[in-house]
Amino acid sequence: MRMGSGTMPAMQESATILPAPPEVLEKARRARDPRFDGRFFVGVTSTGVYCRPVCRVRLPRAENVRFYPTAAAAMDAGFRPCLRCRPEAAPGTPAWGGTSATVSRGLRLIDEGALDDAGNAALGDRLGVTDRHLRRLFLRHVGATPQRVAETRRLLLAKQMLTDTELRMSDIAMAAGYGSIRSFNGHIRRVFDRTPTALRGRGSGDRAGVGLPGMELRLTYREPFDWSGLLNFVARRATPGVEAVSGETYMRAVRVGDAVGTLTVCQAEGEPALVCGIILDQQTSLLPIVARLRRMFDLEADPAEITGALVDDADIGHLVRGNPGQRLPGAWDPFEAAVRAIVGQQVSVAGATTIMGRIVERYGSGIDTELPGLTRLFPAPETLAELDDAHMPMPRIRAGAIRELAARVASGSIRLDAATDHGALREQLQTIRGIGPWTAEYVTMRALSDPDAFLASDLILMRIAEERFGDPDAAALIRRAERWRPWRAYAGLHLWRSYS
């Protein structure tokens, strides 16, 4: 079979970091171990194809196998994606899986479209490193350059939409982030040696929707996954008018660039995946939407790794065993999550939700949708930055903190995106009057999905610490939580859940 690059695959560079020693990966490949699905990929030199380790094809001989940490690395070595196991359907590689902090933030920025309109130099500037150093970091930790990562993700999303949707080719090209239908056709033919139409015909039997409004996409994850528990957390904190939970389905009004619309998310039946229904009033790239949803619902998490780190702890091990599918609830809109954190100071969850609804009703823009409960978009930072504190339904200091935060986000002096260093953000937030350690930690946990954020001064956690552990104050709880790192956010959620 002919390679997409026209050359035989190169040997795996020893400098590239793999998720485990090669002998462990070989055992996982032979066992088709689902725990490794998405954590590495298998290139086969005799066919020129790369597969997921769970692929059900006849096992190739070991001497023909090469291991790669990412799909981009396998494609960079000259392999093309397997049409049977569909690498585009693999769960995402955990963000903490052996990568540096700079690379992890860079991968998130690429997911959000950082390389769609700018080059590697601009990406390096956002991360505070040179273009050359960023390329070196990516080659070592990811096995491919930033540009190749972006190209691979664009290609695999296009392949998923070809297989799973009935969209027109021009719509798929736009949604996957291609600049033109010509570049889309050329990339597909170059990699798969087939036309997009031929690929669609091969996978047409896989298209089966669940009845959500709009175009449906599947977002895979690693089991176990406590979808009901995550929905319960989100439902109690859903911003009225902007988002809602109905039964086992999450709904939200969104703005993506210039496009406005709705998202509907539910759990797929019989497979480890969420299904998202997407309605937008104009065409736009779906890559940022997929990235936000995966972060919001913590779909990159490896529950086996997190559970293994916490399950033997004398204080919380029994809680972890009782709920191994605990996920970290993120946020679609980081700014909205930050406002929620300020609103939630020293008030009940229900009280904070009511206040958020009043803010949206007064300052949010309306949206035309048929989904129940969705009427408005959350106000932009530029809108809240111009408010009179006296018009906000809360104490003046708290209202002033929201206005100051909004002004700094609008000006760019505070960034709530994937390039943000979590420690630096905590320090920046606490320079705003009315924002203390609790609020700063909540923002990094919900807005930036920091798995190690820990709200030691939270009233409930302090009550639990005193009643169960005998810790007299937040400082003592912080010392106890040191052994839960780097998963303190998950430990805190387990404690919260046990109290409720």
Domains and CATH numbers, the chain: 215-299 (3.30.310.20)
| Rounded Cα gap, residues 193 and 199, in angstroms | 10
Residues designated catalytic: 51, 458
- Determine the pLDDT at residue 94: 65
3-state secondary structure of 57: coil
Beta strands per DSSP E along 221-353 = 243-246, 249-256, 259-267, 273-280
pLDDT at 3: 39
pLDDT at res. 98: 56
**Distance (Å, whole) CA 179 – CA 96:** 31
Among 480, 399, 390, 462, residue whose Cα is nearest residue 433: 399
Report which DSSP code applies to 208. -
* CB burial of residue 461 (10 Å; 0-12, 13-18, 19+): buried
- The gap from C-alpha 189 to its chain's centroid, in whole angstroms, comes to 29
- Look up residue 52 and give its two tokens: 């997921």
Contact residues for 157 (Cβ-Cβ < 8 A; gap 6+): 88, 175, 176, 177, 286, 287, 290
Strand order through the sheet with 273-280: 215-220, 273-280, 259-267, 249-256, 243-246
Q: Give kind and range of the element (H or E) at residue 207.
A: none
| Phi, psi angle pair for 114, to nearest 5° | -65, -25
pLDDT recorded at residue 112: 86
In this prediction, residue 97 carries a pLDDT of 56
| Strand partners of residue 278 | 215, 263
With residues binned 3-state (H G I as helix, E B as strand, rest as coil), the percentages for the chain, rounded to 5, are 50, 10, 40
Distance (Å, whole) CA 227 – CA 12: 38
Which residues, given as ranges, of the chain have pLDDT below 70?
1-15, 94-99, 202-208
User: pTM of this prediction?
Assistant: 0.91
- In angstroms, the CA 52 to CA 221 distance is 14
Residues 417-457 have pLDDT tens digits of: 888 889 999 999 999 999 999 999 999 999 999 999 999 99
